[in-house]
């Protein structure tokens, strides 16, 4: 990190040295803005990702946001289903016991 900081500082110093005093301040400020280069969304690595519904049996090909939504939905269904399974039987037994006692 220290080498990249030193390199960035050297580039800025070189840019400042190249600017003439007659250059407008807006142009000077625009030239000092660091550029992202290839760090944008168009720089793909690996195979292109597909939508969840295009190939539902291959999670490794899904887009990241679709994988997150599917995973969270699955975990919710698992917890809610187990909650309903383990808590629904107790109410029925208590009601039957109360009806039998009358």
Spatial distance between the Cα atoms of 5 and 10, rounded to a whole number of angstroms:
9
- DSSP assignment of 49-61: PB-TTTSTT-GGG
Per-residue pLDDT averaged across 87-99, rounded?
68
Of residues 10, 12, 43, 44, the one with CA closest to residue 29: 12
What tokens appear for 32 in the block?
């000092």
pLDDT in tens, 48-82: 899 988 998 999 999 999 999 999 999 999 999 99
Q: For the chain, give every domain's residue range.
A: 1-34, 49-102
pLDDT for residue 9? 80
């Amino acid at each position: 990190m220290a080498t990249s900081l030193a390199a960035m500082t050297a580039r800025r110093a070189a840019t400042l040295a190249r600017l003439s005093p007659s250059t407008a301040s807006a142009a000077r400020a625009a030239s000092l803005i660091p550029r992202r280069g290839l760090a944008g969304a168009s720089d793909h690595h690996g195979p292109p990702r597909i939508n969840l519904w295009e190939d539902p049996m291959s999670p490794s090909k899904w887009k990241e946001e679709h994988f997150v939504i599917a995973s969270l939905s699955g975990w919710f269904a698992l917890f809610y289903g187990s909650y309903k399974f383990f808590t629904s039987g107790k109410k029925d037994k208590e009601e039957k016991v109360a009806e039998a006692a009358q």
